[in-house]
A and B are shown apart, each in its own frame.
Chain A
Amino acid sequence: MQPLLQIQDLNLTVDGKPLVTDLSFSIAAGERLGLIGESGSGKSLTAMAATGLLPRAITATGAVTLGGQQVIGAPERVLNGLRGTVAAFVFQEPLTALDPLLRVAQQVAEPLRRRARRDGHELAGSALQREVLALLEQVALPQPERIARSYPNEISGGQRQRVAIAMALACQPQLLIADEPTTALDVTTQAEILKLLDGLVRERGMALLFISHDLPVVAEIVERVVVMQRGVAVETGPVREVFGAPQHDYTRALVVAAKAFDGALEGTA
């Protein structure tokens, strides 16, 4: 079976300067993959390249196949068909991902309407309203009626991220791409959102591309990881193997640092 997302020999450059070099990996349907790296590693750019969202100034070569469709060089019309249907995004900062001037209900309604149109029927009025509330319930938002009426600034950061997740789910994508989805959140909220994402991905059999700099967070939610350093994948493998016995010096340094803070918490450092 063809993987859902296949990236082969991807090279990204800006003015001839390499940003991502000879990157290859794939995600099968229902698989959960973590892309780990520090700032400047190219992990977010890779996710943008996967859905054809790269800024114009960046040149991409190689092959990116999403849902059987070549993404690099594809016209916007084709890419728009893939977005939402095949893959949907959840970003780091839910405050900027949401439109501050629209009530939550209006924002969540938009992708729902789009999906209905894609499936060949129109969704409006009270039927649409019901679907919005059902979706808000699925992301475990308390008092969905109240949240639906609220503007983004009237709800908490964790609630905003739940709304953003609801919008991504509205299109029933096969692949959810989450780019540092818990980095801007408090630690207790982060734990809740990770649990929610984990449950939703499992329930729906979605594939997950989880991008993060935070090793323990990644370890909680994915099966396999790709470690990136300055645009190059330095190590790939099952998360327990890579974190348990890292082969590359860079991975080893990251694991040692992460374990040092863990050790401090356990009182062993």
Chain B
Amino acid sequence: MSLVSVQNVSFGYSRDRLVLDGVSLEIRSGASVGLVGESGSGKTTLLRLLLGLTRPSAGEIRFDGATLDTRSSRYMRDYRRQVQAVFQDPYSSLDPRQNVLGIVSEPLRSLGIPGDRPALVEAALVSVGLEPDILGRYPHEFSGGQRQRIAIARAIVAKPKLLLADEAVSALDLSTRIRIVELLKQLAADMTLVFVSHDLGVVAALCDEMVILEKGRIVEAGATRKMLADPQHPYTRKLLGSVPRMPA
């Protein structure tokens, strides 16, 4: 069954210029889906809609069988518990004045989730490959890759069903990037992952399915392996052909 159903969704800041134009997409529970596109493709807008930060101009998004109702604060509180996000820049996404315990436990506090917070935070840190004894330390003490692990720990601490990642490894160095991709892959085994990226190589390494967006429309979607081996749309072929490869 679909966890997320995007049904004929359009979005525009003005009536005659649509950022997203009639996008439909089904995301199975447990899937890991890459949303791939270049600048202006609408991939970030689609992610904002999935996060409930913006409302579609037309169409509907359904989550777990019910309409994503951004106007209902009660619905959104429950939605936030189910859906969490990781962003691109681990330097701006962590509050420099809060320690790791404060940062990672924030969703537990704001969503009013009961339980032993330090214990939940420690468990989340361990599952992202960090030592549990860093609770009292601050973001500036960590490298970019470690910060991104902290951001991921914050996203999974409330055990969401869906993890949304927006270019979550793009700001990281190559050797760090591959380790964070491995971590996300491991986490995606237990939840649904939507991974927005311009980087086809990363999506190929991480996602079973991918969706190619161009200028607000989906041009091709399907199983990653199949699309890589036999791309149908000329734009998919152009994208694949543009990725620089290592010399043989």
Choose one: B174, B229, B242; the contact of A258 (CB below 8 Å): B174
Do B239 and A243 touch across chains, with their CB atoms under 8 A apart?
Answer: no
- Residue numbers in B under 8 Å from A259 (CB-CB): 246
Asked if residues B173 and A213 are in contact (CB atoms below 8 Å), the reply is yes
On whether the beta carbons of B229 and A244 are closer than 8 Å, the reply is no
Report the minimum CB–CB distance from B18 to chain A (whole Å). Answer: 19
Mark contacts of A189-220 with chain B using CB atoms, 8 A cut-off: 1 yes-contact digit, 0 otherwise: 11100100000000000000000011111011
A265 → B minimal CB distance (Å): 5
Q: Roughly how many angstroms separate A157 CA and B198 CA in the complex, as a whole number? A: 15
Most B CB atoms within 10 A — which of A157, A190, A265? A265
B38 and A219 form a contact (CB under 8 A): no
Rounded to whole angstroms, the CA-CA distance of A269 and B204 in the bound complex is 9
Interchain CA distance A217-B228 in the complex, whole Å: 20
Least CB distance from A221 to B in Å reads 9
- Given contacts A39-B173, A186-B38, A257-B175, is CB(A219)–CB(B204) below 8 Å? no
* A-B contacts at CB below 8 angstroms, number: 86
Chain B nearest Cβ from A231, distance in angstroms: 15
Determine which residue in B173, B200, B239, B244 has the highest number of CB atoms from chain A within 10 A of its CB, and name it: B244
Q: How large is the interface on A (under 10, 10 to 19, 20 to 34, 35 or more residues)?
A: 35 or more
- Cβ proximity bits B153-197 to A, threshold 8 Å, 1 near / 0 not: 000000000000000000001110110000000000000000000
A22 adjacent to chain B (CB < 8 Å): no
Min CB distance A136 to B, Å, is 23
Q: B202: CB under 8 A from chain A?
A: yes
Residues of A within 8 A of B244 (CB): 190-191, 194, 214, 216-217, 219-220
A92 to chain B, nearest CB (A): 13
Q: Closest CB of chain B to A45's CB: distance in Å?
A: 17
Contact B174 A187 (CB under 8 A): no
B247/A257 in contact, CB under 8 A: no
A133 within 8 A of B: no
Interface centre among B175, B177, B225, B245 (most CB of A within 10 A): B245
**Residues on B with beta carbons closer than 8 Å to the beta carbon of A265:** 200-201, 204, 228, 240, 243, 245
**Contact of A267 (CB < 8 Å), options: B175, B177, B229, B241:** B229
Could you tell me the distance in whole angstroms from the C-beta of A215 to the nearest C-beta in chain B?
6
Contact B246 A219 (CB under 8 A): yes
Beta-carbon nearest neighbor of B206 in chain A: A264
B39: CB under 8 A from chain A? yes
- Residue-by-residue, is B61-79 near A (CB-CB < 8 Å gives 1, otherwise 0)? 0000000000000000000
**Interface check B144, CB cutoff 8 A:** yes
| Closest A residue, CB atoms, query B176 | A38
- Per the bound structure, the CA–CA distance linking A267 and B208 in Å amounts to 11
Given A38-B175, A157-B39, A257-B174; A216-B239 close (CB under 8 Å): no
Q: Which residues of B contact A187 (CB under 8 A)?
A: 38, 198-200, 239, 242-243
In the complex, chain A residues whose CB is within 8 Å of the CB of B178: 257, 260-261
Interface residues of B in 221-248 (CB under 8 A from A): 225, 228-229, 238-247
| Nearest B residue (CB) for A37 | B173
A163 close to chain B: CB less than 8 A = no
Note all chain A residues with C-beta closer than 8 A to B39: 157, 186
Q: At the interface, yes or no: A97 with Cβ under 8 Å from chain B?
A: no
CB distance from A197 to the nearest CB of B (A): 13
Q: Does B205 contact A (CB under 8 A)?
A: yes
Closest to B37 in A: A186
Contact A264 B247 (CB under 8 A): no
- Complex: how many Å from CA A267 to CA B203? 12
A:9-64 near B, CB below 8 Å: 38-39
* Nearest neighbor of B179 in chain A, beta-carbon distance: A257
Cα distance A219–B247 in the bound complex, in angstroms: 7
**What is the interface of chain A, defined by CB distance below 8 A to chain B?**
38-39, 157, 186-191, 194, 213-217, 219-220, 239-240, 243-244, 253-255, 257-262, 264-267, 269
Q: List 9 A-B contacts (CB under 8 A).
A: A187-B243, A188-B38, A189-B38, A216-B246, A220-B244, A254-B174, A259-B246, A265-B200, A267-B204
Q: 5 other contacts beyond A191-B241, A255-B246, A264-B201, with CB at 8 A cut-off?
A: A157-B39, A257-B175, A262-B201, A265-B245, A267-B225
